[in-house]
Amino acid sequence: AHDRVLPFPGWELPGVFTAGAAQALAKGERVVVGDRVVVAGTGPFLLPVAASLLEAGSRVLELLEANPAGTVARGWARRPWQLATHGGKTGELAEYVALLLRHRVPFRAGRTVVAARGDGRVEEVVTARLRPDWSVVPGTERTVAVDALCVGHGFSPQLELPVAAGCALRGTPGAEFVAVDDDQRTSCPGVYAAGEITGVAGAPAARAEGALAGWLAAGGASDAPALRPLRRARDQGRAFAARLAEAHPVGAAWPGWLRPDTVVCRCEETDYASLCRAAGNAAGRGSHIGKLETRAGLGPCQGRICGPTVAQLTARLTGRPAEGAPTAGSRHPGTGSRHPTSVTQHPPTGSRHLASGGPHHRPIAQPIRLGELAAAPEPVPDRSTSRTRHPKTEQS
């Protein structure tokens, strides 16, 4: 998975970092992204990001959680006995809170950054109090001088490979994951999925899913006693992911932050006004035509960053569900009661529908240079069959 950042005026300015990038620079490279930093967004991941910045020498002016305290508290307080299985996370939370208190970093719930300003780079941010749906409370705007801003609104799974394989997804645009059954099987025969692409639940759950999927994909018995602790860890991770989503949802009214000139696709510099014009044009409401008209999603990132956001905005502007969104009532045949969420079946790469689908309908799994293809060895004919096999493919 990678960081998801919702657009807001000025988010393309130098000095605005995703939360993950800021943590990687501070924790891995000991690079300080700024001396006066605001950390904003939603989710517990903001806490270790702020901690890494403090330990690297930055001054964190404030940490802003967009969801009101009541929303966060209700999400985490439901079925409190389940938290006993996540003692390690509770200990980490206590450490982060102690660090913020030691450095006197204010933590404010129900407030976020709705605009960034600066001449050539970010110099100040505008924060505002939010309602539970993330609409701005008028008159609560406040300006803070900064030299860096770190934002994160959750994570987007990298779904290129499962979508290319034709695997069904569950959820809604911006929060889509691969639908799997209790044995980590997808809707595509012979394809198993594990990790953040099935739900953002943390490293322990991903390890358990990977071990379970690997055992079963290799032909191991599904009722082996060794799988019981793996299933238990996986199920605990799923419960944690559900609690996380409930405590830190993305409010539906966040598009209210946008102005006509707000960039929504950074690669192609497509602004919100262009998206509105395309949505108002009946011929341009299909995602394929809309892409050609606005260029949104056609840049180097191939829609990885802006795709879910553009799909949500287009659905909001047209009043129609985003293309590729799950259909109510449809279910993955092997899902059972574990995933009651509706799912959608995506066509394999060769289908012509790939070009006109939702934000994850794209044939490119990873961009590569032409030179890499030119340097690859020639395909070796497979004499046993009529197909041609590639040495690298066979090895991998």
| Amino acid code (one letter) for 23 | Q
Minimum mean pLDDT among 7-21, 103-117, 270-284, 328-342: which range? 328-342
| CA neighbor of 108 nearest in space, from 41, 53, 170, 167 | 41
pLDDT class for 259, splitting at 50, 70, 90? very high
pTM of the model: 0.80
Per-residue model confidence (pLDDT) at position 15: 96
Query: What fold characterizes domain 2-154?
Result: FAD/NAD(P)-binding domain (3.50.50)
pLDDT class for 317, splitting at 50, 70, 90? confident
Q: 9 pLDDT exceeds 90?
A: yes
- Over residues 172-224, the pLDDT tens digits come to 766 889 999 999 999 999 999 999 999 988 888 999 999 999 999 999 999 99
pLDDT class for 373, splitting at 50, 70, 90? confident
Provide the phi-psi class of 275: left if phi over 0, else alpha when psi is between -120 and 50, else beta.
alpha
SS3 193: coil
Secondary structure letter of residue 347 according to DSSP? P
Per-residue model confidence (pLDDT) at position 304: 79
Query: Where in the chain do CATH 3.50.50.60 domains reside?
Result: 2-154
Tokens 């041609």 map to which residue?
388
Helix, strand, coil abundance in the chain, percent, nearest 5: 40, 15, 45
In this prediction, residues 112-135 reach a mean pLDDT of 96
Minimum mean pLDDT among 109-118, 146-155, 371-380: which range? 371-380
Q: 326 pLDDT exceeds 50?
A: no
